[in-house]
Amino acid sequence: MTSTYAAGGGLFGLAPLIIIFPLLGLLTNLLLGRRMGERFVGVVACLAVVASFGVAVSQLVALLAQPEGARVVVADWIAIGSLSVPWAIQVDTLSVTMMLMVSGVSTLIHIYATGYMHEDVRFQGDPGRYTRFFVYFNLFVAAMMVLITGDSFLTLFVGWEGVGLCSYLLIGFWYEKGAGGIGNAVAGKKAFVTNRIGDFGFLVAMFLIYTTFGSLQFEEVFLRAEEMGPAGAGALTAITLLLLVGATGKSAQIPLYVWLPDAMAGPTPVSALIHAATMVTAGIYMIARNHVLFELAPATANIAALVGAATALWAASIAVGQYDIKKVLAYSTISQLGFMVAAVGLGAYVAGMFHLVTHAFFKALLFLSAGSVIQGVERGHHHAAGHAPPSSGRAEQAFDPNDMRHMGGLRSRMPVTFAVYCIGALALAGIPPLAGFFSKDEILAEAARLDPVVYILLTSAAFLTAFYMGRQIWMVFFGQPRSGAAAHAQESPIVMTAPLAGLAVLATLGGALNLPQVHSLSRWLGHTLGEVEIGEFRWQVAALSTGLGLLAIGLSWVLYGRRPLAQGADDPLRRILGPLFAGMERKWGVDEAYNFLFVQRYVDLSRLLGDVVEGRFWHDWFHDRVLGRAYRDGTRWLSDGFDLPVIDGAANGLASLTRAAAGRLRTLQTGYVRTYALFLLLGVVAVLGYLLFR
Amino acid sequence: MNVPTEYVLALSAILFVLGVIGVLIRRNALVVFMSVELMLNSANLAFIAFARAYQSLGGQVFVFFTITVAAAEVAVGLALIVAIFRSKHSIDVDQMSSLKG
């Protein structure tokens, strides 16, 4: 399937640059950014990503000439015993598709971010963070490229963790903001911890892969898995299930999706790039990359399909009840990721990858437009508040520029944003001929062919998708402004609207990648994914989903468009759906349930371990009582029972013995001459007596 | 007349014991001194007795030495007694016990 670089075309040798360019960009900004100012930082960061995109294009050109791809070995990385993992870059149609998508979308988002972050750091009152933002952003691109290009599970894992780190850093970018001054930091922590749970699954899967197949490189593992046949079914099911756990963490699927809505605490370009277009698709990419394993484990693939479909419907239902413009999009992202996971679970890898790419286009577009709306409203708010300087009071903190209930009537105030938002929303809703229609329809057609349950779930999700996007558009752009801020909202600068226009074009034309009957993407990815079944276009499926989409948009018009929401009025859905809407609004209480089931239990366990086991048992009882007292008693005995009587006694006893003996002997010294003479005599008598009688 | 040596030696022993008793029990330093002379001379008598018994001149010679040394000793001892008397105004040996322990 692949050959080494030596056999490939010269262009493949450029592949490592796709990681190196963003790294260079971030190093430059890290060293010089503070000194050189915003413009320099923005240009360097953008150029780094543009260069990456150039490399991706060069790989595309190289692949067109040699579609089987190449493996570019950069360095010997790990060699321990029988484990040998070189750092090699896998250039094949799958990875190059991801490279193009990631670097292309990143480029547009980077350009947008130079404008957005200029405003954002000004609103939030810390211009010094501009540089840091772009350093993280470039780091993210580099890590994502490592993830995509890795030719082994271990390299993929490095990227996997790297993007997780960047996600954490960027969610908590305004770490001092949010509820209670720690809300954003808590959101970052939640994302990181939830991802760790998925990563744990991925890690264990890697261990299992190594023990089962003796290698971590994709190519070898796949070969051995195929050789193994039915004998390895059990191990393969375990491995793929654990990989699926990893995917549910990174790609925000049930049960680990809860971090993604909170991740919206990050600046909007972060939400667009990391939490919509690129990082969260890593799980789908990983499954597609391991399609061989998943094909050999049909049970896991089934579970993946069901998890994806359930997530799609579940998240779509929550999105209906949200008021935060970004939260709606976040749940929409989860829902669309569910579509992709369902697709790869069904074995429709091409459909999944196709939707991944088009989703990146229109979801990035939607998020960036939402960012434009938010900043427009913020500008309007400052205008309405009488040109108050940024972050000047409490009232400012209380105003939430993300709340769709404060918006309305922005159509005339922000015409460009409105236009592109409509394109994004229609693409997401799956209205032809926009990109989302083709990709979503391919998934639905596959589902209809393979699994009716998944099909019903996904179609319902598609219906809800069209409904909540319609609701959002009517609430944000139509009717009368529901706050002074919305009334004075201003359009964003060209540096932000230009990338929006670019993404709008992609969201419109993205469907051309894999048109029915032509199937260019299917053929292209077929080089990597093997001979893929080219799904036939089903008119009835397409007609049904389009009809449902239009119906949902019409329904949303009846509810939100015909009679626009008045200022302070309640959502009309609440009257119709009652407690069902309350459930959607509260996200079905999943956060609370997790909090009760896991977080509180974990806190209880920690408290038990900390207070009872560590505090009372180890510290109070074992250390203080057992060890401390034993030591104290031991030393007391040694001091009172041994040192004082024996050691001191010996020394003192010797002294007093000497003193007593001396006291006795001194009485011999009478000072009288005759006494001495007598002793002399006695001595002489004794000596003579001895000499006589010996 | 031939006096047996045993008799002379017995006399010598008696004289020596008398000297010893004098040294031990008398308090006058001069008498103690004379008792010491008595002991020396009892020893001389024993020398002489043996010199005659063994017909050897060595004992006679030893006696001369003893007498000479005794004379020197008397000179030193009397000088000491005079010095003590000067400071203590007494030659009672029991008064001189400042070396008592």
Q: Give the minimum alpha-carbon distance from A693 to chain B in angstroms, rounded to a whole number.
A: 19
Q: Which two tokens stand for residue A61?
A: 């050109």
Using a CB-CB cut-off of 8 Å, the residues of chain B touching A669 are 99-101
CA separation (Å) from A668 to A46, A359, A671, A675? Answer: 111, 118, 9, 9
A7 — pLDDT class (breaks 50, 70, 90): very low
Give the domains, in start order, of chain B with CATH numbers.
5-90 (1.10.287.3510)
The region of weakest confidence among A2-6, A438-442, A660-664, B11-15 is: A2-6
Size of interface A-B (CB pairs under 8 A): 33
User: How many CA atoms are closer than 13 Å to the CA of A318, on its beta-carbon side?
Assistant: 26
Could you tell me what percent of chain A has a pLDDT over 90? 56
Percent of chain A with pLDDT over 70: 96
User: What's chain A's average pLDDT?
Assistant: 89
Buried b (16+ CB within 10 A) or exposed e, A571-591: bebeeebeeebeebbebeebe
Of A665, A669, A674, the CB nearest to B23: A674
Confidence of residue B7 (pLDDT cuts 50, 70, 90): very high
* Position A9 confidence tier, pLDDT thresholds 50, 70, 90: low
- In this predicted structure, the answer to whether residue A155 has a pLDDT above a threshold of 60 is yes
Render pLDDT for A639-663 as a digit per residue (tens, 0 to 9). 998 999 899 999 999 999 999 999 9
Around B73, how many Cα atoms within 13 Å sit in the side-chain half-sphere? Answer: 11
What pLDDT score does B1 carry?
63
Is the bond leading into A493 cis (omega within 30 degrees of zero)? no
pLDDT at A332 over 60: yes
CA angle A119/A125/A131 to nearest 5° reads 65
Average pLDDT over residues A665-693: 90
Instruction: Identify the residue whose tokens are 């609440």.
Output: A574
Give the model's pLDDT for residue A214. Answer: 87
For A670, the closest of B24, B32, B100 (CB atoms) is B100
Task: Among A665, A672, A678, select the one facing B94 at the smallest CB separation.
Answer: A672
Which candidate from A670, A677, A678 shows the least CB-CB separation from B97? A670
CB contact under 8 A, B24 and A677: yes
| pLDDT single digits (tens) A376-427 | 998 888 888 765 444 444 444 567 888 888 888 888 889 999 999 999 999 9
Most confident of A64-68, A497-501, A586-590: A497-501
Q: How far is CA A47 from CA A103, A107, A572, A632, in A?
A: 11, 8, 48, 69
Decide: A310 and A194 in contact? Cβ < 8 Å.
Answer: no
Per residue in A518-573, pLDDT tens? 788 888 888 888 766 666 777 888 899 999 999 999 999 998 888 888 877 788 88
- Nearest Cβ partner for A669 among B20, B24, B101: B101
ipTM: 0.85
Interface of B with A in 24-53 (CB under 8 A): 24-25, 32
Give the model's pLDDT for residue A370.
94
- Kindly report the length of chain B: 101
> Would the CB atoms of A678 and B24 count as touching at under 8 Å?
yes
Which residues 617-676 of A are in CB contact (within 8 Å) with B? 665-674
Please give, rounded to a whole number of angstroms, the shortest distance from the CA of B1 to a CA of chain A: 32
Chain A residues lying within 8 Å of B31, measured CB to CB: none
A677 touches chain B (CB under 8 A): yes
pLDDT at A667 over 90: no
Q: Please give the Cα distance from A677 to A616 (Å, whole number).
A: 82
pLDDT, tens digit, for every residue of A607-617? 999 998 888 88
pLDDT tens per residue across span B39-80:
999 999 999 999 999 999 999 999 999 999 999 999 999 999
User: Looking at the predicted structure, is the pLDDT value of residue A578 above 90?
Assistant: no
Q: In whole angstroms, give the CA distance from residue A261 to residue A478.
A: 25
Which pair of structure tokens corresponds to residue A237?
């099911």
* Contact criterion met (CB < 8 Å) for A672 and B98: no
* Interchain CB distance below 8 Å, B32 and A673: yes
Residue whose structure tokens are 């997530």: A311
Given pLDDT bands bounded at 50, 70 and 90, which one contains residue B99? confident
State the pLDDT at residue A635.
93
Q: What is the pLDDT of residue A391?
A: 47
User: What six digits make up the tokens of A4?
Assistant: 């080494």
Buried b (16+ CB within 10 A) or exposed e, A314-349: bbbbbbbbbbbbbbbbbbbbbbbbbbbbbbbbbbbb
Query: Does B101 score more than 80 pLDDT?
Result: no
Please report the pLDDT score of residue B40 as a whole number. 93
Give the integer Cα–Cα distance in Å for A120 and A173. 11
Q: Which residues of B touch A671 (CB under 8 A)?
A: 96-101
Q: Could you tell me the CA-to-CA distances from A471 to A182, A192, A255 in Å, in that order? A: 31, 32, 27
